[in-house]
Amino acid sequence: MNGYSRRDFVKSGGALLALSSLPLSMVELAFGKGDAQRFTFAYISDSHITQIKGREFVRNWDRGLIRAVTEANLLDPRPDFFFYGGDIAQLGKRAEIDHGLDILSALRGQTHYVIGEHDYYLDLGDYWRKQLGPDHYSFDHKGVHFVVLNSILTYDHWTHDRWGSGEERMQQMARLDNPQGSPFMVGEAQRKWLQQDLSKVSRDTPLVVFSHSPLQKIYKGWNFWTDDAEQVQALLEPFAKVTVLYGHVHQIQTNQIGNISFHAAMATAWPWPYPATYRQQASYLPKLTVNMNRADPFFERDATGWQFIDLHSGLANVHYTLPGNRNRVVAFDEKLGHPADLRYRLAANREPSQTHY
């Protein structure tokens, strides 16, 4: 007979778990009020809304974005604002951008947008900027300086001279494993802009930088890559507390390079494998990463999700909201000096579905 103890069940519902699944109100209680720099914002990314024809869109990606918006609206108290991390559309079409913005309009609060390559390469961001304003900008909020970059640009020749049409160029950029792809970059012009922008910010002001590409070099074959990553990181290096939040990779990734914490967003649409699972090429994985679970493809929302960020004294805790799985908190550990997954930091605590091979 299979013997078991009731105590085993009760043990698994311990206090540590509370932190990773509670909505905001409980997070505040856990951390205690009184930190003037404490506030939260929600971060949704990579919806890849795809038009089939007319008003018919791929149901799976629609439902993913709807689910994230519906859940994010439950946050109580409300987050200060929302961020959208890029790739609203799949092929950059107006219908796709409009449909995505329509779904996102249900968010209860102001939303700031980051551009992704799937939004950009059809018309080089024309329609995006018309609807949403500049694709790179900055603002201040409660003592934190927010910067949004367009980090999915690439070489001029590939962008302007290589392809016969915007549609063809977009199709090429849409394919992740494209041998004819071209690496992402922030580019010289924007780096100059960033340098200018940051020159007006004091060194002890916390920075949060939004970028679609990782601002790191992870795996070039899938464009998990920013070609001028080191140069951008060098511009951020003088600041005491920097957090980079990026999309594009559709998986949990965590890293710390010097003073910069890096966090990847989950996609609402579909998950991507970790690059190391492609055995024919070498890749680098941000080394603090504790893998997300492997998806059960039956559940269309498995290994997708959204996140909310809880900033305290300029340091970020990322709360990953994962349908069908235990939610995760990757919190900045001041003793360690880098972020760490609260529940799964120790290998012994990991679940089988977190093993990717």
Partner 1 sequence: MNRTYRQRSVPRTLALVLFAGCTQLQADPFSQADLMRWQQEYASVVERGEKLFHGGLGNPNTVSCDQCHPNAANTHPETYPKFQQQLGRVAALWEMINWCIQNPLESPPLAADDSRLIALQAYITQERKGVKLDPGKH
Partner 2 sequence: MIKRLSLSCLLLGASFTTSAGLLGLPPVPVPVDNPQTPEKIALGKRLFNDARFSADGKVSCATCHQQAKAFTDGLPVSKGFNDLTGTRNAPTVINAAYMRSLFWDGREPDLEGQSMQPPVNPVEGGLPDHGPQLRVIRGDPEYVRAFKRVFGVEAGQIAMEHVAKAIASFERTILAGDSPFDRYFYGADQTAMTAEQVQGLKLFVGKGRCVSCHRIEQTQALFTDNRFHNIGIGFKKIRGKEQEIAAAYLQSKHRGANVDVTVLTKQDMSELGRFAVTENVTQVGAFKTPTLRNIAETGPYMHDGSLETLEDVIDFYNNGGRVKENDPLSGFLSGGIRPLDLSDREKQQLVAFLKALTSHQLEQLTQR
Q: Which residues bind partner 2 (CB under 8 A)?
A: 1-6, 9-10, 21-23, 25-26, 59, 63-64, 66-67, 69-71, 73-76, 296, 298-302, 304-305, 321-324, 327
In the list partner 2, partner 1, none, the entry touching 46 (Cβ below 5 to 8 angstroms by class) is none
In the list partner 1, partner 2, none, the entry touching 10 (Cβ below 5 to 8 angstroms by class) is partner 2
Q: Is 4 in the site for partner 1 (CB under 8 A)?
A: no
Spatial distance between the Cα atoms of 210 and 233, rounded to a whole number of angstroms: 13
In the list partner 1, partner 2, none, the entry touching 279 (Cβ below 5 to 8 angstroms by class) is partner 1
Work out the angle between the directed axes of helices 59-72 and 94-104 (0-180°, nearest 10): 30
Count of positions on this chain that bind partner 1 (CB under 8 A): 29
What are the two backbone dihedrals, phi and then psi, of residue 13, each rounded to the nearest 5 degrees? -105, 35
Position among 186, 295, 311, 329 found at the interface with partner 1 (CB under 8 A): 295
Omega of the bond leading into 77 within 30 degrees of 0 (cis): yes
Structure tokens belonging to residue 309: 């960020």
Asked whether the CA dihedral 328, 330, 333, 339 is positive or negative, the reply is positive
Q: How far is CA 282 from CA 170, 220, 227, 241, 274, in A?
A: 27, 10, 17, 31, 12
Nearest approach in angstroms of CB 25 to partner 1 is: 36
Using the minimum distance from each CB to partner 2, give the nearer residue, 12 or 196.
12
Stretch that binds partner 1, among 14-22, 62-70, 111-119, 174-182 (CB under 8 A): 174-182
Nearest approach in angstroms of CB 83 to partner 1 is: 24
In the list partner 2, partner 1, none, the entry touching 270 (Cβ below 5 to 8 angstroms by class) is partner 1
In the list partner 2, partner 1, none, the entry touching 271 (Cβ below 5 to 8 angstroms by class) is partner 1
Q: What is the DSSP string of 166-199?
A: HHHHHHHHH-TT-TT----B--HHHHHHHHHHHH
Using the minimum distance from each CB to partner 1, give the nearer residue, 140 or 296.
296
What number of residues does the chain have? 357
Q: What is the DSSP string of 237-299?
A: TTSSSEEEEE-SS-S--EEEETTEEEEEPPPSS-----GGG-TTS-----TT--PPPPP-TTS
Position among 108, 142, 160, 175 found at the interface with partner 1 (CB under 8 A): 175
Using the minimum distance from each CB to partner 2, give the nearer residue, 127 or 270.
270
Position among 16, 36, 59, 337 found at the interface with partner 1 (CB under 8 A): 59
Pairing relation of β-strands 315-321 and 306-312?
A: antiparallel
In the list partner 1, partner 2, none, the entry touching 280 (Cβ below 5 to 8 angstroms by class) is partner 1
In the list partner 1, partner 2, none, the entry touching 356 (Cβ below 5 to 8 angstroms by class) is partner 1
E strands in the chain: 39-44, 51-53, 56-57, 81-84, 111-113, 137-141, 144-148, 207-211, 217-219, 224-225, 242-246, 254-257, 260-264, 306-312, 315-321, 328-333, 338-341
Structure tokens belonging to residue 129: 């900027």
Q: Is 176 in the site for partner 1 (CB under 8 A)?
A: yes
Stretch that binds partner 1, among 26-34, 267-275, 308-316, 325-333 (CB under 8 A): 267-275
Using the minimum distance from each CB to partner 1, give the nearer residue, 259 or 353.
353
CA–centroid distance for 329 within its chain: 14
Pairing relation of β-strands 207-211 and 242-246?
A: parallel
Pick from 333, 317, 330, 306: nearest CA to 73: 306
Q: Is 136 in the site for partner 1 (CB under 8 A)?
A: no
Using the minimum distance from each CB to partner 2, give the nearer residue, 74 or 282.
74
Position among 2, 5, 196, 280 found at the interface with partner 1 (CB under 8 A): 280
Q: Is 180 in the site for partner 1 (CB under 8 A)?
A: no
Binding site for partner 1 (CB under 8 A): 50, 52, 58-60, 175-177, 221-222, 270-273, 275, 277-281, 294-298, 300, 352, 356-357
